[in-house]
Amino acid sequence: MKASFQKYILNFKQASGTSRGVLYTKETYFLKLVENDTIGIGECGLFKGLSCDDTPYYEEKLKWLCANIHQNKEFLLQELMEYPSIQFGLEQALLSLKSENIFDLFPSKFTKSQDAININGLIWMGSEAFMKQQILDKLKAGFSTIKMKIGAIDFETELSLLKSIRKEFSSNEIELRVDANGAFKPKDALEKLNRLAEFEIHSIEQPIKQGQTNEMAELCLKTPLPIALDEELIGIFDVTKKQKLLQIINPQYIILKPSLVGGFNGSEEWIHLAEKQQIGWWITSALESNIGLNAIAQWTYTLGNKIPQGLGTGGLFINNFECPLEVKKGYLNYNNLKNWKFNL
């Protein structure tokens, strides 16, 4: 078996705002395996500024993987423990290599176009007018769950946007999720959660910055609306430490981005621990290209989680790869009449 990798820059169709800043491009890497003329492809979805493996040695680790690809999978995954996005790329590439179809990693009713995945519509930060237009567009497109990023513009303005949705749509008609990306200060977070709860919010992701374990635990105990941990899970590799974090904070939900938490294996470890504590969960992509998104979507379908997932990011880039994934009326579909166009 031989392995190689290639860097690729994804360009956003329009600048996408988060509380960490505005995104214009997204760097990613593709891992290619070749064995007996058979090819396997995986995406190592590095997320600059967020991934724990955003280090100066990232490409050196990819070179190491390519040089040691003859080693067994368990050894490689263990050695890549602190590089979760590379772990995930390797998992994908090995599955791809062994599949009848290079992009059909988890054959199911989803990949046969017989079923679809319920997803939320994502509202990016920006001006009030820009965010309002996005909301209208998502509702028109048939989404029944909307996730709005908050924490970058004035909080009162964000509340007025939520209020305008609730004036027209009840919580039975539209489910509202918000994602603060750690933007709130611990001292005023509970007050903000109380105000958000007036609009029957389904959940809030990461209200305060990760690493404030005791403050987050207190918030999860007192919160009037469910809290979902997201960034809090990044950089925790040991299963005992994962269990301890969930036991201390005891959140209502956790959100899993395979590129950030160690791929399928790392995500399933979190899911197992969460379910033991009766903590809910869902899966979200982390701005991968359609290669990584396809892998996440196919795997997510096999998990049988019926609540809306965060997998609607495939249309964000101008230079993404054409593929069978399609978003229709708030659902992610796999149209197997459409062909892949992946030309690296």
- Catalytic residue of the set 32, 138, 147, 257: 257
Question: Residue 98 catalytic?
Answer: no
Active-site residue flag, 257: yes
By DSSP bridging, strand 38-44 and strand 121-123 are unpaired
Hey, is 212 helix, strand or coil? coil
In the DSSP assignment, the letter for residue 224 is S
As to burial, measured by CB atoms within 10 angstroms (0-12 exposed, 13-18 middle, 19+ buried), residue 334 is buried
Question: In whole angstroms, what is the distance from residue 307 CA to residue 52 CA?
Answer: 28
**For residue 255, what are its two tokens?**
């959100």
Q: Looking at 32, 149, 192, 209, which residue is catalytic? A: 149
Q: What is the CA 322 to chain-centroid distance, rounded?
A: 20
149: which 2 tokens? Answer: 């990023």
Backbone angles phi, psi at 77, to 5 degrees: -60, -40
Cα 143 to Cα 174, 306, 318, distances in angstroms: 8, 15, 23
Active site residues: 149, 257
